[in-house]
């Protein structure tokens, strides 16, 4: 089982290295199709490994249990990485309808209220009344906000703030801001942010912002970041209003 796992990981990392070389030369953030195929194929042996480990855990002597638990956690982490990767692929199919960004932000506030309270971070929403609807895929836009808000909360310490806001910007844009008072970013980090697999977190996959960028580009929207170390981050999204594609 271990050999099979190593073999898969080696194949995966070889393809990833190839893509990285290509990316560095071409400055593209597109991942090659082969990476998705391998990711997809890795899921079956991984579930098999998980099921076998769970069986082993029931039968093994007590002293082995922590090691098996560690392996199970790693298998789960790999599974999460593969799911995120496959998600990146799924994002390409969008269903466009009119979307109320103000309500979406309020929904996000409800969704994250529990997590924010637990972390003792204040999560607020400011949205101008009567901002026009945008044309977009609501589920994908939720996924995009979830990634940005999750990052903002993760960057904050107790007592911090996360502010979500939306306003109409003349002549034909909605400006959305996701602002936090967290650790912030230096200039070098800002250049890396949207690159798939870039992460500074122990348990991160580094695909969150790559997914955000992909979703926004499918909506003809743009995202920029303003930040300084220890001064928090503001992600600014410009969304076109009259784009019917």
Ligand X SMILES: Nc1ncnc2c1ncn2[C@@H]1O[C@H](COP(=O)(O)OP(=O)(O)OP(=O)(O)O)[C@@H](O)[C@H]1O
Q: Which residue has the closest beta carbon to Mg ion? A: 208
Q: Is 160 in the site for ligand X (CB under 6 A)?
A: no
Considering CB under 6 A, how many residues would be counted as binding ligand X? 21
Query: 112 and 153 in contact (C-beta within 8 Å)?
Result: yes
Among 102, 136, 160, 182, binds ligand X (CB under 6 A): 182
The least CB distance from residue 149 to ligand X, in Å, is: 9
Q: Is 108 in the site for ligand X (CB under 6 A)?
A: no
The least CB distance from residue 57 to ligand X, in Å, is: 26
Q: Is 201 in the site for ligand X (CB under 6 A)?
A: yes
Of 219, 111, 199, 208, residue with least CA distance to 162:
111
Sketch the per residue contact string, 61 through 100, with ligand X: x for CB under 6 A, - otherwise.
Answer: -----------------------x----------------
The least CB distance from residue 176 to ligand X, in Å, is: 14
The least CB distance from residue 59 to ligand X, in Å, is: 34
Q: Is 224 in the site for ligand X (CB under 6 A)?
A: no
Indicate if the alpha-carbon torsion angle 65, 70, 73, 79 is positive or negative.
Answer: negative
Of 62, 57, 83, 61, residue with least CA distance to 72:
57
CA 238/CA 234 separation, integer angstroms: 13
Cβ-based burial of 175 (10 A; exposed 0-12, middle 13-18, buried ≥19): middle
Q: Is 226 in the site for ligand X (CB under 6 A)?
A: no
Q: Is 218 in the site for ligand X (CB under 6 A)?
A: no
Cβ-based burial of 221 (10 A; exposed 0-12, middle 13-18, buried ≥19): buried
- Which option in Mg ion, ligand X, none does residue 215 bind, with CB closer than 5 to 8 A by kind? none
Among 75, 152, 221, 223, binds ligand X (CB under 6 A): 152
- What is the helix (H) or strand (E) element at residue 235, kind and residue range? strand 233-240
CA 177/CA 136 separation, integer angstroms: 18
Instruction: List residues near Mg ion by CB under 5 A.
Output: 151, 208
CA 186/CA 200 separation, integer angstroms: 13
Residues that bind ligand X (CB under 6 A): 84, 147, 151-152, 155, 180, 182-183, 185, 193, 198-201, 204-209, 233
């Amino acid at each position: 089982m271990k050999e099979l796992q190593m073999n898969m990981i080696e194949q995966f990392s070889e393809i990833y290295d190839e893509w990285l070389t290509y990316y560095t030369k071409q400055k593209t953030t597109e991942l090659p199709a082969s990476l998705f195929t391998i990711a997809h194929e890795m899921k079956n042996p991984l579930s098999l490994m998980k099921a076998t480990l769970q069986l082993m855990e029931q039968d093994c002597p007590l002293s082995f249990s922590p090691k098996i638990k560690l392996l199970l956690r790693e298998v789960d982490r790999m599974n999460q990485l593969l799911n995120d990767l496959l998600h990146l692929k799924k994002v390409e199919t969008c269903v466009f309808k009119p979307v109320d960004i103000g309500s979406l932000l309020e929904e996000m506030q409800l969704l994250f209220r529990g997590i924010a309270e637990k972390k003792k971070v204040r999560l607020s929403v400011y949205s101008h009344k009567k901002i026009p609807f945008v044309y977009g895929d609501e589920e994908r836009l939720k996924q995009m906000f979830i990634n940005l808000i999750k990052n903002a909360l993760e960057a904050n310490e107790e007592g911090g703030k996360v502010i979500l806001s939306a306003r109409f910007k003349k002549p034909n844009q909605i400006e959305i801001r996701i602002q936090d008072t967290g650790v912030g970013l230096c200039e070098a980090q800002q250049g890396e942010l949207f690159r798939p697999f870039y992460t500074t977190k122990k348990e991160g996959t580094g695909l969150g912002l790559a997914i955000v960028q992909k979703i926004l580009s499918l909506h003809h929207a743009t995202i920029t970041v303003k930040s300084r170390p220890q001064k928090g981050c503001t992600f600014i999204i410009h969304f076109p209003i009259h784009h019917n594609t």
